[in-house]
Amino acid sequence: MASMKDVARMAGVSVSTVSRVISGSIPVDDETRFRVQRAIESTGYKPNLIARGLRIKSTRLIGMLLPEIRSSYFATLIEHVEEQVQKQGYNLIVGGTGGDPDREERFFENLIRRHVDGIIISLVSDRSHLMRIIHRTDVPVVVLDRPLDNCNLPMAVMDNFRGGEIAAGYLLSLGHRKFACITGPGDISNTRDRSAGFRNVLSAAGVSIDEDAVVEGGYDYESGVQGVNILVERGVEFTALWAQNDLMAIGALSRLKELGIPVPGDVSLMGLDNVDVSRMISPALSTIAQPFERIAAAAVNLLLHFNPDVPGNHDRIILSPELVVRGTTGKVKGLQL
């Protein structure tokens, strides 16, 4: 693809002159404008619209599209993204899709009609058909959660595979060998990556996890409650339970307490996200911390500096999570470590 430098070279002017012609922010004589416009047509150069917006007083609006806006996880993401965009002089428009691909598409198109300068998205799931629309628009789009497999958009995400590895590695270090897991929905890439990382570490340690010990949830509190019910009904024996997000872990903790199963006495429990409520419950939840602030900063930076004219400019920023040890995990009962 042609760049602004190519246009400047063909028109015989400086890059700053090309920029002024594109933005219209500073008067340029007619002859120079004509040469630049002819060079743009000849090279097929497409101006970076987000950068242009910075110069010509655009709407100063960034759209953010999420599967759910009420959950503590997405609320935390919104908080950090809003802080970052406001630092750059923008305002944030947030919409929730409720996990509905059609609603996701309608809201995305609505953001385009509002002439936002860019969009940050967390896709519904593999069922999303938003990619076919994204590739028809010139508005920059960045993914910050739930990317599709083989997604070629810029993204800033947590290393979900590593999150699964950390959970398994820590629980193994406490002597656990009987595992259960409450996953997210199977049609979300985060779920698959977390599960793969978890199984990878268990397998390397010579430990297997029975399929009956794996329950698919929906990343919500009730999934944690129901997940424990299902494990108990199946007669699964486990000393360590990993719920793939904090909300499910908190639901699981509540149900384990109701059943009279001590945590961490009989069962060590872990979550993932490190949302605020995870440290407020009793016992406080051991978890894997999402780097929320770094994800938000990276996503906004990618959006505001996105340049479609640079080949391969689809940056993938993958940030590592961190282990947070609190009160819901401990060594296997009777084991001396």
- Per residue in 236-275, pLDDT (tens digit) is 999 999 999 999 999 999 999 999 999 999 999 999 999 9
CATH of domain 4-47: 1.10.260.40
Query: 4-47 and 59-158+292-319 share one CATH topology?
Result: no
Predicted confidence at residue 113, as pLDDT, reads 85
Q: Would you give the DSSP letter of residue 23?
A: H
Instruction: Give the bridge partners for 213, in sequence order.
Output: none
pLDDT bracket for residue 34 (50, 70, 90): confident
Q: How far is CA 301 from the centre of its chain?
A: 15
pLDDT tens digit sequence for 148-192: 766 778 889 999 999 999 999 999 999 999 999 999 999 999 999
* 239: alpha, beta or left? (left if phi > 0; alpha if psi -120 to 50): alpha
Average pLDDT over residues 98-102: 84
pLDDT band at 48 (very low <50, low <70, confident <90, very high): low
- 267: nearest Cα among 299, 236, 226: 236
Could you state, in order of their start, the residue ranges of all structural domains in the chain?
4-47, 59-158+292-319, 160-290
The structural architecture, per CATH, of the domain 160-290 is: 3-Layer(aba) Sandwich (3.40)
- The closest of 220, 197, 201, 254 to 73, measured between CA atoms, is 220
Q: Residue 267: helix, strand or coil by DSSP?
A: coil
**Which amino acid makes up residue 260?**
G
Q: Count CA within 13 A, CB hemisphere, residue 106.
A: 8
pTM beyond cutoff 0.75: yes
Residue with tokens 């150069």: 45
- Residue 313 has a pLDDT of 47
**What are the start-end ranges of the H helices in the chain?**
4-11, 15-23, 30-43, 49-55, 72-87, 101-113, 131-134, 160-173, 189-204, 221-233, 246-258, 292-304
Distances (CA, A) of 304 to 52, 60, 88, 245, 256: 10, 11, 9, 30, 46
Torsions phi, psi for 228 (to 5 deg): -65, -40
CATH number for the domain running over 59-158+292-319: 3.40.50.2300
